[in-house]
Amino acid sequence: MSFSLYYRGSLSSCNYACPYCPFSKTVDSRETLQRDREQLERFVQWVHEQEREQHRLSIFFNPYGEGLVHGWYRRAMVELSHLPHVDKVAIQTNLSVKLDWTAELNRDKAAFWATYHPGQTSEDFFVRQGMQLHEQGLAFSAGVVGLREAFPAIRSLRARLPEDVYVWINAFKDRPAYYRPEEVAELQQIDPYFEYNLRDYDSLGQSCLAGQNVFYIQGNGMVKRCYQDKRVIGNIYRRSLRDIAVVRPCAMKQCGCYIGYIHMPDQPFAKLYGKRILERIPAGYV
């Protein structure tokens, strides 16, 4: 069986301090970082063992913070990218770390969801990091939170990155009706899929692959349908994924986050993104 796994351990700190992001508001203790490392190393060992179960896995790391500043995330990506039963290993990152280690990745399986944070780093640095991945043949998408004050940075980023690199825009939804029609039209020119992120999806009772072949896994092995649904449906260290996998309609009223609504089969995202859906790269880019 094939499964997509979102993994999030104990890490809850970031090396950036974006005002719109909760991850920048904490500093992890040495004990927390050690626990996160041990959790991830146990998870990697569990992934190894899934070959005997004949499971094929696509893995996406989306920690509450920046994972790649810690060596255990870099090592995990390299190791997992070379396992024969792992089809994909990707991570959500700000690309702030040196990328010399990426030469060890299996470029056919590794990918990056990279976010540019104006005010936390320079555009030159972010573009240089992205171009290093591009020149290595490593798949990545790049994007920005669509705050009005970030519009100049969004325009510039799109102009500087190669056309075959998808630049996405996360709609800012903290304020209702935040965008004027002409702003939506402009952002749509930069990110042709912006309209999909701009809306929330009525999801209660709707079909969703979360809990069926898509799972959100915490560092202690607890499994949930998705990061929004707090109900625990199993533990990977106690039960097989095959036993946990059940058709489970969504129990949330609405879904407004990319990593959630893309798994609703009645929506067009599987067709729009294809095999690059986890790392947010539409079909036709790379």
For residue 263, the SS3 value is coil
Distance CA 175, CA 195 (A): 16
| Residue 285 confidence (pLDDT) | 86
Q: What is the pLDDT of residues 80-134, one digit of tens each?
A: 999 999 999 999 999 999 999 999 999 999 999 999 999 888 999 999 999 999 9
Which residue positions in the chain have pLDDT lower than 70?
Answer: 15-25, 286
| Residue 120 confidence (pLDDT) | 82
Q: Are 237 and 46 in contact (CB under 8 A)?
A: yes
Q: Are 15 and 66 in contact (CB under 8 A)?
A: yes
| Residue 28 confidence (pLDDT) | 74
Tell me the pairing of strands 214-218 and 222-224: antiparallel
Domains and CATH numbers, the chain: 2-273 (3.20.20)
Which residue in 125, 147, 113, 128 sits closest to 21, CA to CA?
Answer: 147
Q: What is the pTM of this model?
A: 0.95
Distance CA 70, CA 20 (A): 23
| Residue 21 confidence (pLDDT) | 66
